[in-house]
Amino acid sequence: MAIAAKRTKTIIARRQDLIQGTIKSIASLGFNNSTVQTICEAAGLSRGLIGHYFKGKDDLLLEAFRHQTAQADEDTRQAIRAVGDDPLQRLLAATSVTFTRPANSRENALVWLAFCGVAPWNASMNELHSRLYRRYRSWIQRMMEQAAAERGIEIDAKRAALTYAQMVDGFYIGWIMDKGAYSLQEANQIVCDWVLGLFGEQPSKKRKDAAIKAATDSILGGNAKSSGAAGEGRAPGNDQPVAAGAASRKKTRQKPIQT
């Protein structure tokens, strides 16, 4: 029993080392220039070990994406719980997580971009991205429907959720490609103000500050505890978002939402 438990811990640790090595290699060299050798070097492991845990580079990218999406999901889940039950405040908190995470780790942002660049030509990656993105938009739409109902207004929540998701991704990609164009803080303010305006509310420093604090606290707390296997992400409930692209997407993992 003790030997089996120790072996299991070793397997988990080695897989995590290789996932982190993948993230570091891709962030530094790009996906095309990353090789089994560069990944193992970044992980501090022998090249011969990789075959015991993963099928190859594509498999590692998939698991790295799952891993970072799980972390993003958990960060978002903690943030939206911290701000309470108001769906509008939850949307703001999720948005703030989306734009706070890449500032804390540009590596994760670059891996997400690499994943999106490869996914259209890889059936497994494409299926994973599509599934997670649908969950993500569904959560956003549900929060918007609830926020509108509480205020007695009518909106096209499906269209608004699509607009929101593409706005977030656009700012995310724009920042990765040109960090001098705008800051992530500016992007967060713009999206949060748009969300508030959608529900007839004026820009509120108090609301946005509360969302940013919840996002920052969840991310810093998550980094302190960060270990864990990559996972697929649970089906979202009222407090269970799902990270998408700029989310934020992947089998042990949890998912965030963005708002």
Per-residue pLDDT, 209:
81
Tokens representing 147? 């926020």
Tokens representing 257? 């939402």
> What one-letter code names the amino acid at 10?
T
pLDDT tens-digit series, residues 3-51: 666 667 777 888 899 999 988 998 899 888 988 899 999 989 888 778 7
- Please give the model's pTM, rounded to 2 decimal places: 0.77
Q: How large a percentage of the chain has pLDDT more than 70?
A: 80
Per-residue pLDDT, 7:
67
154-181: b (≥16 Cβ within 10 Å) or e: ebebeebbeebbebbbebbbebeeeeee
Question: CB under 8 Å to 218, separation ≥6 — which residues?
Answer: 74, 75, 76, 77, 78, 79, 82, 97
Per-residue pLDDT, 237:
43
Domains, the chain, with CATH or none = 1-54 (1.10.10.60), 67-259 (1.10.357.10)
Per-residue pLDDT, 186:
93
Tokens representing 68? 């970072």
Ranges of residues in the chain with a pLDDT under 70 are 1-7, 102-105, 219, 221-259
Per-residue pLDDT, 240:
53
- Nearest in space to 91 (alpha carbons), one of 172, 160, 153, 175: 160
Residue 22 CA to residue 63 CA, distance in Å, equals 9
Q: Where are the beta strands (DSSP E) in the chain?
A: none
- Nearest in space to 113 (alpha carbons), one of 59, 65, 166, 185: 65
Per-residue pLDDT, 239:
52
Q: How large a percentage of the chain has pLDDT more than 90?
A: 29
Per-residue pLDDT, 76:
87
